[in-house]
A and B are shown apart, each in its own frame.
Chain A
Amino acid sequence: MMPTPLDRRALLSGALAGAAALAARPTLARAAGPAELRVAQPWEFKTLELGEAGFTYSRAGITETLVASLPDGRIAPGLAQSWSVSDDGLQWRFRLRDAVFHDGTRLDAAAAKASFERLLPQSLYLKRAGIAAVEADGQDLVLKLDRPFGPLLSYLVDNSAALLAPGAFDGEGRVRAIIGTGPFKIGAAELPRSLALVRHEAYWGEKARVAAVRYDAVGNGDTRTNIAVAKDADIVFNLAAQGVGRAGSAGMTIERVIIPRTHILMLNCAKPQFAEAAVRRALSMALDREGIAAGVMRNKALAATQYLPPTLAEWHFADLAPLRQDVAAANALLDAAGWPRGADGIRAKGGVRFAGTVRTFANRPELPVIATAMQAQLRAIGFDLAISVGEAQAIYEAQKDGSLELGLSSRNLVIVPDPIGTIALDYAADSIAPGSTGTTNWRHDGLRQEVARYLAEADDRRRATARRAIAGIIHEELPIIPVTWYDQIVAVHPRVSGFVTDPLEQRYFLDRVAIAK
């Protein structure tokens, strides 16, 4: 028997209804209300482990640490209202403030101790501070160190060891929920894309001015630009430089601040082309940093005159001769170092061609473009640069197996507010750091001594001397050539007031933001 029209119709309408129901499901999710602050930023909330994604939760104002960094870089009280250190520098005592976790439990020394003991082993930097024991003493948390550690307060800002409530951990000690003390708590989560934050009414400090925040992860830079141009978010972080004009024309306020991140040219100092400091300086002099900063980064002020940007005032030294393009001087240095030009214009010495392949990656879209610009600039001093674009991790793997010639990468200098954390890893460690940002086959005992002196020193004056010595050696030796600094570009909706940029990117200070009615 042939099918009847009724049967087919029933089949078709069933299929249509099913598809429509499926398609309509996302509409069940809550749309942004007028009183909700809408934030778009690039980082997904991939895991609940603070050792991996802690920065996303601290920037959003969900988690807090014992001490906090202010936008000007100063260390301020956080969950510890005050602290003292013993004369030998081995015992730090922190008086905890009267704070309440998001689940209503009180922050006491026992809870802080439990959180510390669970998170410290997997923290990124704090675990390097030599904390041998954590003790609860009344409302005090006592940290006992196995050696004096000068920058401990900066390391305590490490958001991978933020304080979580006892209820945040499961029976096996894994983080099962982010229950912190910050001005916002997680109301609902659509991991890894979105968090709905609500104001923590029992917050110990000044309460957030907005009651709710829709905090979205938007990985694609062009999509973030579109969101800014359409004014579909109140604050859009990490706007691409190319989108500034369009977002500005649409009525968004543009905030730009140089942050402690440097795009770097890494050199394998075991290769004969890069073994001498004079040759590395010549390569540095060939670079037109202002051109790259203006043309690629769209901000001439980002031309790196030294490794550490002026945002890190204590680490940026006006008396260091700025790194500038000087092709004639670069050629003179290379001639003096015995690298004559061949018939094709490329230099060579003892059968070694003055050439190399730079490995870079496209996660940061500007890097391959910068590599192309450098290719032409280096040719002017007789260096033949080839470009290989792949994964960021390929740089580290080439460092390890010795095949790396050059690498173009990017370094966040303030995982903790004091850049000594990254400098110690990148310039003064025995093993290569897997972040693809450290020196390659370069060892400087003088620098190592200064780093060790700085880490052990509590006296500010002597620490300042060590800082200058460290910055000076990095500047003279150039085992890594700074190319450009980096600026955080934020598009802010005109209905938003009170927005603050934090150059250290520890917090986004969304609690200080208000929305006009």
Chain B
Amino acid sequence: MSASRSSIWPGGAAGTVLRIVASRLVQAVLTALVLASLCFSFVQALPGDAALRIAAARSGDDRVTAESVARVREQEGLDRPLLAQYASWIGRLAQGDLGHSLVSRQPVWRELAEHGRFTLGLGALGWLLSYAIALPLGIACGFRPGGWLDRGTNALAVALASMPSFLVGIGLISLFALTLRWLPPAGFRTGAHMVLPALTLALGLAAFSVRIIRNAVVEVRGAFYMTFARIRGRSAGSAFLHHGVRNAAIPVATFAALQFAYVVDGFVVVETLFNYPGLGDLLVKSLLARDVPMIMGAGMVVGLMYAAVNLLADLTCIGLDPRRLAGHGA
């Protein structure tokens, strides 16, 4: 296979793509730093004593003592001026150290990696499942807009989209875990534990994406190049496969990337309901405990993940429609 054949972009465009990636990476790092700094300011702006909350998070409200609060304050340097605390965090970050959790004392990167693994796993599964549901349904609806399937899907999508995810989750638990007893109601150890939370995510995501896919298909099917393809003698299915899919995929890819970023951010409610140890769960607990290094680390990681997913979406779109490179000077 030739070099140009193994690339998904046209020859000569690789340099432009590299430039885009490099500039996006710089932007992403700066954004992540700003995000982490904002997290620091917001947490510090919250009323109340951080040392007291950290001590309570470590031992439970009943077991907090004046000594344990004083110990947290001293050992974690919370009695230093805010600027000194921030400067020390930046200093450590420059050496590639995100610090340690003030509650568990574990390195922040290890906590983030552990929880991030669970969120990414569940998110990817939910996201793929949502497109396994939405793609065939959306395309079928796009082929028969206004038909019974389109109307029925629309009604169901509106119902699912307007329902909070915990309600969908409770419904699925009631049916599959408590009534039929096919699946466990909570946990994270086996594949069976992932089915219900992934389905909860998938239904919520598919409710939106099925409409996007349906509209993209309707739009593409009405385009002039489709009519031209039919004039050239292609069947409706063949014309869609050869000319429609690529064009319809562009808005869908952008939307799918946004949805994946949303998943990565963590579905706090779903994670709590299913006792699933993901990033959202970690972030909420860290916020309640005022675990500043964890919050800042999580802010940075979530920011970087958003940027990475968006970059992937843009590259996919350029791959699907290389004319977009023109705007970048190719």
Interface residue ranges of B49-89 to A (CB < 8 Å): 49, 52-53, 55-69, 71
A220 lies within 8 A of B275 (CB):
yes
Q: Is A431 in the interface zone, CB < 8 Å from B?
A: yes
Q: Which residues of B contact A46 (CB under 8 A)?
A: 57-58, 103-104
B186 on the A face (CB < 8 A): yes
CB of A26 within 8 Å of the partner chain:
yes
Point out the residues of chain B lying under 8 angstroms from A32, CB to CB: 189
Contact B121 A2 (CB under 8 A): no
The answer to whether A232 touches B185, judged by C-beta atoms less than 8 angstroms apart, is: yes
Q: By the criterion CB–CB under 8 Å, are A47 and B178 in contact?
A: no
Q: Given that A22-B121, A25-B121, A51-B59 are contacting pairs, would A1 and B5 also be in contact in the complex, using a CB cutoff of 8 Å?
A: yes
The yes or no answer to B254 lying at the interface (CB within 8 A) is no
Task: Give complex CA distance A52, B181 in Å.
Answer: 38
Closest to A214 in B: B189
Give the contacting residue for B5; candidates A7, A20, A31; CB below 8 A. A7
B120-143: CB near A (< 8 Å → 1, else 0) gives 111011011000000000000000
Interface residues of A in 384-401 (CB under 8 A from B): 391-394, 396-397
Q: Across the two chains, which residue of chain A brings its CB closest to B114?
A: A190
Q: How far is the CB of B219 from chain A (nearest CB, A)?
A: 22
Partner of B63, one of A25, A26, A192, A415: A415
Q: How far is the CB of B56 from chain A (nearest CB, A)?
A: 6
Contact B125 A52 (CB under 8 A): no
Interface positions of B from 257 to 307, Cβ below 8 Å from A: 272-275, 277, 288
| B95 contacts partner chain A, Cβ-Cβ < 8 Å | no
A13-57 near B? 1/0 per residue, CB < 8 Å: 000101110111111011110000000000100110101110100
CB distance B178 to A434 under 8 Å?
no
Please tell me if B10 contacts chain A, counting CB pairs below 8 Å.
yes
- Would you call A2 and B322 a contact (CB within 8 A)? yes
B275 smallest CB distance to A (angstroms) = 5
Q: Would you call A226 an interface residue if the criterion is a C-beta within 8 Å of the partner chain's C-beta atoms?
A: yes
Please count how many residues in chain B sit with their CB below 8 Å of the partner chain's CB atoms: 64
Q: Is there an interface contact between A232 and B187, defined as CB atoms closer than 8 Å?
A: yes
Partner of A435, one of B63, B118, B128: B63
Sorting the interface of chain A by its residue count into under 10, 10 to 19, 20 to 34 or 35 or more gives 35 or more
**A177 to B212 CA separation, bound complex (whole angstroms):** 52
The answer to whether B6 touches A7 (Cβ under 8 A) is yes
Chain B residues whose CB sits within 8 angstroms of the CB of A8 once the complex forms = 8, 319
Which listed residue (A4, A363, A394) contacts B48, Cβ 8 A?
A394
Q: Which residues of A contact B67 (CB under 8 A)?
A: 122
Does chain B have a CB within 8 A of A449? no
Instruction: Verify B63–A230 contact, CB threshold 8 A.
Output: no
Asked if B184 is an interface residue, CB under 8 A from chain A, the answer is yes
Q: Which of B57, B61, B103, B188 contacts A26 (CB 8 A)?
A: B188
Q: Check B177 for interface membership: any CB of A closer than 8 A.
A: yes
In angstroms, Cα B63 to Cα A247, docked, is: 31
Q: Is A223 an interface residue (CB 8 A)?
A: yes
B4, closest chain A residue (CB) = A1
Whether the Cβ atoms of A22 and B120 lie closer than 8 Å is yes
Q: Is B10 within 8 A of A2, CB to CB?
A: yes
9 chain-A/chain-B pairs, Cβ below 8 angstroms = A2-B322, A8-B319, A20-B124, A25-B117, A29-B188, A49-B58, A52-B59, A220-B275, A431-B66
Ranked nearest first, the 10 interchain pairs of A and B with the lowest CB-CB distance are A19-B124, A23-B125, A226-B185, A52-B59, A3-B8, A52-B58, A23-B121, A412-B62, A27-B191, A29-B189
Q: Which residues of B contact A (CB under 8 A)?
A: 4-11, 48-49, 52-53, 55-69, 71, 103-106, 117-118, 120-122, 124-125, 127-128, 173, 177-178, 181, 184-191, 193-194, 198, 272-275, 277, 288, 319, 322
